[in-house]
Chain A
Amino acid sequence: MFKELDPILHSQLRLAVMSLLIAVKEAEFTYIREKTNATAGNLSVQVQKLKEAGYIEVTKQFKDNYPQTTCKITAQGIEAFEAYVKALQQYLQAGQG
């Protein structure tokens, strides 16, 4: 039934990350971790997958000698997210009818 849904987005944690990033300009890894309650390891893996798909941009830099990872949604990511939401709505409408 869900074959047409983007498999990159149709995963709980990746969808949570994308939903956070669509609402802000950019966010740090630690912020995303706090809001999703995910483990650092799992979140790293999912962030990497989103990055490989071209949906988010990941910047690593040092601030006061601490490594800092900032994530930002890309234009491609926004497009994919919108298409995903649209597909979800179609499923729901089909379910109702």
Chain B
Amino acid sequence: METDDKELSPQESLALIKTMINKTKDSVADDSFYFLLWGWLVFVCCIAEFILKVYYQYPYHYVVWWTMPAAGIASAVYGARQSKQKKVTSFVDEALGFLWMAIGLSFITLVVINIINGQNWQTAFTYYILLYAIGTFMTGSLIRFKPLIIGGLINFALAIISIRLNYDNQLLIGSVAILISYIIPGHLLRMKHQKQKN
């Protein structure tokens, strides 16, 4: 755009508006870091708790979940750094921020409910998987990324299936759920953004 005073025809004006709006379409931030951090951590925790509980009968098998607050801190630090580097904030970025904030609060709320409810964790994974489903389905729809949409939809089904399973097997279905909804789409999303950069 070299000159400012060039006389525009209505057609040129509309074409310019269209071009500029199109240029903002790739401005949604790369959020794959969060999916990969939480995805891999939850996946490893599910498998580790299963092994500790089933094979070693370790009474404090749930200790693996104490890594979650650390991941929360890592996410917050990463988020703060990203927002400093970020040159543009799209409406989708803003909506996703609120969505995941609400989902994060829901996870914490569920943990508190389970603790108050006499440590009855039998239905915990059903609701966690349901939250993965909501978060990934909505994110996928907002950023128009099919792997997240598909992962989210499968998780709705897995949430139903999980209610019939005992806690040990819920750990396994939890690991499958996170693999399908976070890890695989997370890696694909990262690849997509890296391709866009090059």
Contact A10 B13 (CB under 8 A): yes
User: Measured between alpha carbons, how far is A27 from B23 in the docked complex, in Å?
Assistant: 13
- Taking the closest CB of chain A, its distance from the CB of B24, in whole angstroms, is 4
Asked if B14 is an interface residue, CB under 8 A from chain A, the answer is: yes
Contact B14 A27 (CB under 8 A): no
* CB neighbours of A14 from chain B (8 A): 4
* CB-contacts of A1-47 with B (<8 A): 2, 10-16, 19-20, 22-28, 30-31, 34-38, 42, 45-46
User: Measured between alpha carbons, how far is A25 from B98 in the docked complex, in Å?
Assistant: 14
Looking at the complex, which one of A11, A20, A63, A64 makes contact with B23 (CB distance below 8 Å)? Answer: A20
Tell which of A22, A24, A92 has the most Cβ of chain B within 10 Å. A24
* CB-contacts of A62-89 with B (<8 A): 63-64, 84-85, 88
- What size tier do the contact residues of chain A reach? 35 or more
Number of residues from B at the complex interface, CB < 8 A: 27
* CB neighbours of B88 from chain A (8 A): 24, 26-28, 31
**Looking across the interface, which residue of chain A has its beta carbon closest to that of B24?**
A23
Contact B14 A25 (CB under 8 A): no
Contact B1 A88 (CB under 8 A): no
Q: Mark B117-131, 1 if CB is under 8 A from A, else 0.
A: 000000000000000
Contacts A15-B13, A92-B14 given; indicate if A20 touches B4 (C-beta within 8 A): no
User: Measured between alpha carbons, how far is A15 from B4 in the docked complex, in Å?
Assistant: 10
User: Measured between alpha carbons, how far is A2 from B89 in the docked complex, in Å?
Assistant: 34
Looking at the complex, which one of A10, A20, A26, A34 makes contact with B20 (CB distance below 8 Å)? Answer: A20
Looking at the complex, which one of B13, B14, B16, B90 makes contact with A24 (CB distance below 8 Å)? Answer: B90
Contacts A24-B89, A28-B88, A30-B87 given; indicate if A11 touches B4 (C-beta within 8 A): yes
Contacts A16-B16, A37-B1 given; indicate if A28 touches B21 (C-beta within 8 A): no
* CB neighbours of B8 from chain A (8 A): 10-12, 15
* CB neighbours of B24 from chain A (8 A): 20, 23-24, 35
* CB neighbours of A24 from chain B (8 A): 24, 27, 88-91
Nearest first, the 6 closest Cβ-Cβ pairs linking A and B are A19-B20, A31-B87, A23-B24, A27-B88, A91-B10, A28-B87
- Which B residues form the contact surface with A (CB < 8 A)? 1, 3-8, 10-11, 13-14, 16-17, 19-21, 23-24, 27, 84, 87-91, 93-94
- Which A residues form the contact surface with B (CB < 8 A)? 2, 10-16, 19-20, 22-28, 30-31, 34-38, 42, 45-46, 63-64, 84-85, 88, 91-92, 95
